[in-house]
Amino acid sequence: MCAILTYEGDDISEQEFQTLLQRTSLRGPDMSRYKKVEKGYIGFNRLSIMGLNEEGMQPFYLNNNAVICNGELYGFRALREYLVSLGYSFRSDSDCEILLPLYEKLGTKMFDILDAEFACVIYDGEKKKFIAARDPIGIRPLYYGYDKKGNIIFASEPKNMVGVADKIMPFPPGHYYEDGKFICYRDMTKVKEVKFDEVNVIAEKIHDKLLKGIEKRLSADAPIGFLLSGGLDSSLVCGAAAKMLGKKIRTFAIGMDIDAIDLKYAREVADYIGSEHTEVIISKKDVIEAVEPVIEALGTYDITTIRASIGMYLLCKWIHENTDIKVILTGEISDELFGYKYTDFAPSADEFQKEAQKRIHEIHMYDVLRADRCISVNSLEARVPFGDLDFVEYVMSIDPEKKMNTYGIGKYLLRHAFEKDELIPRTILMREKAAFSDAVGHSLRDDLIECADSLYTYADYETKKKKYTHATPFTKESLWYREIFEKYYPGQSDMVVDFWMPNKNWEGCNVNDPSARVLSNYGASAK
What sections of 217-346 are H helices per DSSP?
232-245, 263-273, 284-298, 303-322, 334-338
CA distance 342 to 3: 36
- Which of 191, 243, 190 has its CA nearest to residue 218? 243
Query: What is 143-189 written as a DSSP string?
Result: EEEE-TT--EEEESSGGGTTTT-SSEEEPPTTEEEETTEEEES--TT
Q: What is the largest CA-CA distance in the chain?
A: 71
CA 205 to chain centre: 24
Residues 7, 40 contacting (CB under 8 angstroms): yes
- Which of 3, 424, 434, 94 has its CA nearest to residue 241? 424
Q: Which amino acid is at 124?
A: D
Element (H, E) at 4: strand 3-8
2 is catalytic: yes
Element (H, E) at 251: strand 250-256
* First CA to last CA distance, the chain: 35
The catalytically annotated residue of 2, 120, 238, 374 is 2
Residues 76, 95 contacting (CB under 8 angstroms): yes
Reported residue count of the chain is 527
DSSP code for 74: T
Catalytic residues, by residue number, are 2
